[in-house]
Amino acid sequence: MTIKVINDVTIEIIKGETKTPIVNFIKKSGEVVDLTSVTEITVKFSNADGTALSKTKTGGGINITSATGGKFEINLLAAETALLETVSYATMEIELTFPTLTNIVHIPKAYSVIEREF
């Protein structure tokens, strides 16, 4: 199954803010990816120290908002966004685990992280 992400805009994250972006998955054919049987979703962001911030469904950092609509939200805490790498455009890694397969998707230019102005 080939999956692509519908992402009309780059997610802008300001360091130190709480952010809850919504992700919507569809197949290349245009059919929505049904998340009803997903056992795990993992989303990774790059931290400034070279490590990754991982948010998971089972860890409570991801909530499916519409399983049949292919939508979920990522709950980013202020303390977590403060540690993200400042970057204009970064690739987000999303791993969807189903009972019989796992899909890993890299989404280029999915998000940017900027410093606070004041």
Please write the tens of the pLDDT for every residue from 92-112: 999 999 999 998 988 888 899
Residue 63 has pLDDT above 60, yes or no: yes
Model confidence at 29, pLDDT cuts 50, 70, 90, reads confident
- Residue boundaries of the structural domains of the chain: 3-113
Closest CA to 96 of 66, 56, 63, 60: 56
- pTM of the predicted model, to two decimals? 0.89
CATH 2.60.40 fits 3-113, yes or no: yes
- Backbone angle region of 7, left / alpha / beta, with phi > 0 → left and psi within -120 to 50 → alpha: beta
In the three-class reduction of DSSP (H, G, I as helix; E, B as strand; rest coil), residue 80 is classed as: helix
Strand ordering across the sheet containing 3-6: 3-6, 22-27, 71-74, 62-66
Mean pLDDT of 36-45: 97
